[in-house]
Amino acid sequence: MGWTIAIHGGAGTIARAEMNAGQEAAHRDALHAALEAGAAVLREGGAAEEAVLAAVSSMEDCPLFNAGHGATLTAAGHAELDAALMLDDGRAGAVTGARRIRNPVRAAQAVMRHTKHVLLQGEAADGLAAECGLPLAESGYFVTPHRLAQLEAARRDGELVLDHDGRMGTVGAVARDAIGALAAATSTGGMTNKRPGRVGDSPVIGAGTWADGRVAVSCTGTGEAFLRCAAAHEVAARMRLAGEDLGAATRFVVEQAVPEAGGSGGLIAVDAAGHFALPFNTSGMYRGVWRDGDAPEVAIFRD
């Protein structure tokens, strides 16, 4: 049936009137670059695991997204990085509160491959990355002028700013490879001005990231709400237990479960047949999809 890859770069208050042509073009170029990074793996017969890692790493390296370089800053003024990876055979790895890992999603893979654990936090996550030879960086690498200005404004107003309301969001990728294997990966810096140590949904298996034999899911939005309703796993559960198709299951989660849990956002998902869904309940979501034999597509706004 060929391969499929879908990506997101955050969902939220993304208004066309507040984005000039240059900004829009830069975001579309970044989404295309991430799609190409993942598709390049799949075109050569590579695994879904490596495809989602390539796509997410591309967005972690781009300052336009809230992951890796350009992540949001905590109330203490530093980045705390979260990421997760899950495969359809149940293997998973995640990191939270990392401070030095250039590509946190690669560290999530290292947790899965090189430890008996699923989730490592803080210095332990940084230490494992170093042991595995993953690229590290000083804290200044993750700080951009935009994020500093965003933090200063949030401090002045005494507010928390969701990543997607800052027009730059959590990133993720889901893929089905040529032999039918599924994988999902998610990476984020969380919320601007968040309390140090806060953990959102992205690194929590079943909340912001999930994969099994039926579906792979990556979420973006109000992390606490996605945690409360186990959003990513809820998609899979509705497909497995209620017999819903991908569209129905993802619409329920985005249109009903997440709002009832007090949040907003979106998700991307691909099923075992290569069908995809990219629903969101906000004014926009940075997103893209590419299926074997088709042209890549990216979008930002609801229309």
The residues assigned a catalytic role are 170
Spatial CA neighbour of 93 closest among 65, 61, 70, 125: 125
Q: Distances in Å between the alpha carbon of 294 and those of 89, 97, 291?
A: 28, 38, 5
Asked whether the beta carbons of 292 and 22 are under 8 A apart, the reply is no
Query: In degrees to the nearest 10, what's the CA dihedral of 93, 96, 98, 102?
Result: 50
CA separation for the pair 73, 83 (Å, rounded): 16
Instruction: For residue 96, give every residue at least 6 positions away whose Cβ sits within 8 Å of its Cβ, in sequence order, or none.
Output: 80, 82, 119, 120, 121, 122, 125, 199, 203
CA separation for the pair 180, 93 (Å, rounded): 21
Burial, 40: exposed, middle or buried (Cβ in 10 Å; 0-12, 13-18, 19+)?
middle
Asked whether the beta carbons of 209 and 46 are under 8 A apart, the reply is no
Q: What share of the chain is helix, strand, coil (3-state, %, to 5)?
A: 35, 25, 35
| 280 membership: H or E segment, kind and range | none
CA separation for the pair 188, 10 (Å, rounded): 9
